[in-house]
Amino acid sequence: MTAIPLWVRRPAGERVGWLRTVDHKEIGVLYIGMGVAFFAVGGLEALLLRAQLATPESRLVDPSTYDQAFTVHGVTMILLAIVPLLVGFANYLVPLMIGAPDVAYPRLNALSFWLSLVGGIILYFSFLAGGAPDTGWFSYAPLAERSFAPGPGVDYYILGLAVNGAGTIIGAINLTVTILLMRCPGMAISRVPLFVWMTLVTTILILGAYPALTAALVMLFVDRQLGGHFFDPAGGGQAVLWQHLFWFFGHPEVYIMVLPAMGMISEIIPVFSGKPIFGYRFVAGSSVAIAFLSFGVWAHHMFAVGLGDMENAIFSATSMLIAVPTGVKIFNWIATMVGGRIRLTTAMLFAIGFIAMFVIGGLSGVSLAVVPIDLAVTDSYYVVAHLHYVLFGGTMLGVFAGAYYWFPKMTGRLLDEGLGKLHFWATFAGFNLTFLPQHWLGAVGMPRRVFTYAASTGWGPLNLVSTIGAAILAVAMVILAVNLVRSLRSGEVAGDDPWDAFTLEWATSSPPPPENFPVTPAVTGRRPLWDRKHPELRDPS
Amino acid sequence: MSETGFVRGERIPPAVSVSLGRSATIGQDRTLLGVAVFIASESVFFLAIVLAYLAYRDAGLVTAKANLDVPRTAIFSVALFSSSATMAMAARRASRGWLVATIALGTVFLVGQGSEYARLLASGIGPGRELFGTTFFTLTGLHGLHVLVGLVALVALLAAHMRRPYALRPVAFEAVGLYWHFVDAVWVVVFSVVYLGTLL
């Protein structure tokens, strides 16, 4: 009995084009391209918001446009920019890092990318079809019900997110099975690179969290299109059910967005410190602890709802608990750097920036887990500042670190270090100027999601500073774009292993051949390439 | 040592190890593991919907007791439950006959559900009618859609087996079967919560 493969690899050397490709590297690049494009669009939306808020009582945009802009900005950055960027890196790197020729299901991989993209296009189509959703990215009921949001915007939100989510779930199944079954000989689960570990934990989070969002979207659809009453208090339903389901997805989603970035800097910091990661098992194990705890903290988004003191106390405690495994990682990264031969490349600068900014975001997060503090600043700019320190200061700086680190592997050329450092410092300055003042704005009571404010509030100067910061941040992104385009055309040729790195992706050519490795590698330790280059210094296996 | 400097690793492609005649296990075969992981995420999806049903159960209980025909649905449920047995036989023998029996039993179940929907809608109970209608049609409708998807998969499997029986990996039967058993198991929960729940 002969086995017929379910898919056929394209012949080596032949390209089938971006529309038909099933190669994990090309699909990874497609994902990253999608993420970059939506990051640019979401960034422009953010600039519009900041321009409107620069001065009090501004009439640059009308309230309805403002509502659409902040809603779509949130959905775009979270689901159409950050998640595709991270999934893209995982798609590209995981098979290379574990010595596999591709992911477990290459054709399914293409399907998940195209579903993710089409979901995004459906969401944006709403602008042409009568108005974008304007109910915030978490689209609380009953505001999102038909009686309060009669336009088609929320319907496009439902459909777009459901399709995008299906793509993400399918992608997560693919990566889970790839990591569990496709590792090369010797690549025990206790030896896989930490980026692979974090990706595995992330995919498990996706599989547990996204279906809850899909279920909530289906219920909202039933309410809006079939006259149902799930979240409709007038018909006996409970609006708070939406919040429970949404945040059961929404909080793990935060870790879905941050764990892969943590995985990236867990690869970058050891290489540029010239040392193995400090406490591999703790870095990997703390991710599992974070994943486990992240399913038990969702109601900290709902302290102001009035669930009751006991519920609030429990969720407050679990939320503080999650700071422990997160702190473990911070100490591991710092301990990796201590005593190392540190090379301050752009990638390393961004990785260190990640640690600094993420600590601020993490600490403001712990403060928000304290119920009385949360009650005082809930739905204020303090929360906006916090989440941007986590998602921009954390995740995006990690993604930039990853971009400078792996760009040479993906393209064969190095990104320019001079422009890179300019990009880093402009990002660092612009980011802090934008979001640090928002802590004070929130603390003195400026609510989020208001399209303007009275001059008598005194919020004008800090808002102006924040807007100036956003402009600097925009300049930083232009520097990045120039660097990407210039380096792609005429950057320094990288070679296979420009960073003297440790892991398998650097053992093959840059960019790698379609089959990744000419022969299946066999490994004996956590740093296979290092062991090969320095047999006398190899890690004990 | 090879040109990459690594020792050449031996990897037996899963497709080969499966076609050796041994029964594949979920932990070894990528097709089965993929279906299992998919089922795990589907379980979260159904859990959310079932919990919503339970949250609103009391509000809809009077309507449920007055309108649901438990004995009739129990008979159609037996069709679905026994289809898991026929599916197991189909997977064990790679048998076309048992596959047809599974498809028939699944279809009987869907016909039963369709006729119940028709009866309820005719008496004015739809998804917009009270919390009972909303939760009942959402939960049973989503399950019905999953049965439909399962039937499509079964028919596709049957067609593939009829065209080129020896080209089909045995694991294809097990993979479709795994999904079918899951759909069946979900109905055990839904039938208990929605129908048997009205007897309490």
Q: What is the pLDDT of residues A293-319, one digit of tens each?
A: 999 999 999 999 999 999 999 999 999
pLDDT score at A192: 96
Q: How confident is the model at residue B20 (pLDDT cuts 50, 70, 90)?
A: very low
What is the crossing angle of helices A239-273 and A280-294, to 10°? 170
Q: Find the mean pLDDT for residues B137-159.
A: 97
pLDDT tier at A518, thresholds 50, 70, 90: confident
pLDDT one-digit tens code per residue, A59-78 = 999 999 999 999 999 999 99
ipTM reported for the complex, 2 dp: 0.92
| B19 pLDDT higher than 80 | no
Give pLDDT, residue A106: 95
Higher-confidence position of A334 and A18: A334
Average pLDDT, chain A: 94
- pLDDT at B106 (0 to 100): 98
Determine the pLDDT at residue B13: 47
pLDDT at residue A271 tops 50: yes
Q: Which of A184, A241, A521 has the CB atom closest to B52's CB atom? A: A241
Task: Evaluate if residue B23 carries a pLDDT over 60.
Answer: no
The count of C-alpha atoms lying within 13 angstroms of the C-alpha of A213, restricted to the half-sphere facing its C-beta, is 29
CB contact set of A201 (below 8 Å; sequence gap of 6+): A259, A287, A288, A290, A291
Q: Looking at CA atoms only, how far is residue A312 from chain B in angstroms?
A: 20
Mean pLDDT of the region A108-117? 97
| Secondary element (H or E) of residue B85 | helix B70-93
Cβ neighbours of residue A348 under 8 Å, at least 6 residues apart? A268, A269, A272, A342, A401
Question: How many angstroms separate the CA atoms of B159 and B168, rounded?
Answer: 11
User: Would you list the DSSP string of B37-70?
Assistant: HHHHHHHHHHHHHHHHHHHTHHHHHHHHHHH--H
- Written as six digits, the tokens of A357 are 């900014």
pLDDT of residue B93: 85
Average pLDDT of B168-183?
92
**Residue range A381-396: average pLDDT?**
97
Mark out the alpha helices in A444-511 (DSSP H runs): 460-490
**Nearest by CB to B127, which of A99, A177, A227?**
A227
A401-456 pLDDT tens trace: 999 999 999 999 999 999 999 999 999 999 999 999 999 999 999 999 999 999 99
Q: If DSSP states are collapsed to H, E and C, what string results for A264-326?
A: HHHHHHHHHHCCCCCCHHHHHHHHHHHHHHHCCCHHHHCHHHCCCHHHHHHHHHHHHHCHHHH
Neighboring chain A residues of B11 at a CB cutoff of 8 Å: 184-185, 520
What does the block give as tokens for A326?
């997160």
Q: What is the mean pLDDT of residues A488-497?
A: 94
DSSP A504: G
- SS3 of B95-136: CHHHHHHHHHHHHHHHHHHHHHHHHHHHCCCCCCCHHHHHHH
For residue B41, the distance in angstroms to the closest alpha carbon of chain A comes to: 5
Q: Residue B7: in which H helix or E strand, if any?
A: strand B7-8
Query: Average pLDDT of A199-223?
Result: 97
Radius of gyration of chain B (CA): 21
Which chain A residue lies closest to B166 (C-alpha atoms)? Answer: A1
Tokens 């739905």 belong to A379
Structural contact between residues A261 and A269, judged by C-beta atoms closer than 8 angstroms: no
Q: Is the Cβ pair B166, A105 closer than 8 Å? A: no
Residue at A156: amino acid letter: Y
For residue A380, give the DSSP letter. Answer: B
Tell me which residue in B9, B38, B134 faces A520 most closely, judged by beta carbons. Answer: B9
As a whole number of angstroms, the distance between CA A319 and CA A369 comes to: 6
Provide the token pair at A137.
């990215």
Residue with tokens 């996706």: A206
Residue closest to B34 by CA, chosen among A172, A206, A22, A196: A172
**B39 contacts in chain A (CB < 8 Å):** none
Contact residues, B window 27-86, toward A, CB-based 8 Å cutoff: 28, 30, 33-34, 37-38, 40-42, 44-45, 48-49, 52, 55-56, 59
Structure confidence at residue A541 as a pLDDT band (50, 70, 90)? low
Is A2's pLDDT higher than 70?
no
For the CA atoms of chain A, what is the radius of gyration? 23
Tell me how far apart the alpha carbons of residues A188 and A416 are, in angstroms, rounded to a whole number. 36
Which of the four pLDDT bands, split at 50, 70 and 90, describes residue A534? confident
Interface of B with A in 145-174 (CB under 8 A): 166-167, 169
Which DSSP helix (H) or strand (E) runs through B24? none
- Which of A427, A489, A447, A395 has its CA nearest to residue A77? A395
Looking at the predicted structure, is the pLDDT value of residue B12 above 60? Answer: no
Span A278-284, average pLDDT: 95
Contacts for A339-343: CB closer than 8 Å, 24+ residues apart = A339/A275, A340/A273, A340/A274, A340/A275, A341/A273, A341/A274, A342/A272, A342/A273, A342/A274, A343/A272, A343/A274
Give A403-450 as a DSSP string.
Answer: HHHHHHHHHSBPPPHHHHHHHHHHHHHHHHHHHHHHHHHHHTTPBTT-
Cis peptide before A142 (omega within 30 of 0): yes
Does the structure show a pLDDT above 90 at B33?
Answer: yes
In this predicted model, what pLDDT tens digit does every residue of B72-128 receive, in sequence order?
Answer: 999 999 999 999 999 999 998 888 999 999 999 999 999 999 999 999 999 999 999
Q: Are strands A521-522 and B7-8 parallel, antiparallel or unpaired?
A: antiparallel
DSSP 3-state of A104: coil
In this complex, do B56 and A518 lie within 8 Å of one another by their Cβ atoms?
A: no
- Confidence at B17, pLDDT banded by 50, 70, 90: very low
Averaged pLDDT for residues A143-159: 95
pLDDT of residue A6: 33
Cβ contact A507–B5 (<8 Å): yes
Give the residue-averaged pLDDT of B48-61: 94
Cis peptide before A518 (omega within 30 of 0): no
Contact between A480 and A400 under an 8 Å Cβ cutoff? The reply is yes
